[in-house]
Amino acid sequence: MRGELVIYGESVTIMHYDSEYFAMSSHDMSETTVTGSKLILSKNLHRSCYFKFASRFKSKKMADVVSFDDEIFIQNCLDNQYLDFDNEPYNNCYDFHVPLEDPFRPLNYFVDPHCTSHKMLLTMKKDNHWSLI
């Protein structure tokens, strides 16, 4: 629910802002340099759409409130894999030959010249942590 406190260990969903689809784990292998499973988007909620936050540091315990600037790991509740990204930059972020009706095709497409894009995946390693801003 929007505006509610998030607790470490509590199940949450992650929604792609532009398409309003849910992030979901897949059993297919990722097409990345890092070994792991694909992270896909789904219109409907499934058991594999639920994630939980875990603190990078032992000072935060399960049932503590997640705060801004906390460093966290994001773990899929179904298969216990962690949200990660490929280290290789991904230059072809979007195929504009996809029909306009496709919910994943942005109406406006802007590329920040100071940022690089990377493919997301799920892996068993806790290599990357996230920060809520």
Rounded to 5 degrees, what are φ and ψ at 47? -60, -30
* 3-state class (DSSP) for residue 49: helix
pLDDT, residue 50, reads 97
Q: How do residues 74-131 score in pLDDT, each as one tens digit?
A: 999 999 999 988 877 766 555 555 565 666 555 555 566 677 777 788 999 887 788 8
Domains in the chain, ordered, with CATH?
1-133 (2.80.10.50)
The pTM of this model reads 0.77
Q: How do residues 18-50 score in pLDDT, each as one tens digit?
A: 778 899 998 888 887 678 898 888 889 999 999
- Does residue 48 contact residue 58 with C-beta atoms inside 8 Å? no
Among the listed residues 121, 120, 90, the one whose alpha carbon sits nearest the alpha carbon of residue 27: 121
Report the alpha-carbon distance of residue 56 to residue 81 in Å, rounded: 15
Q: Looking at the DSSP assignment, which residues form a beta bridge with residue 50? A: 13
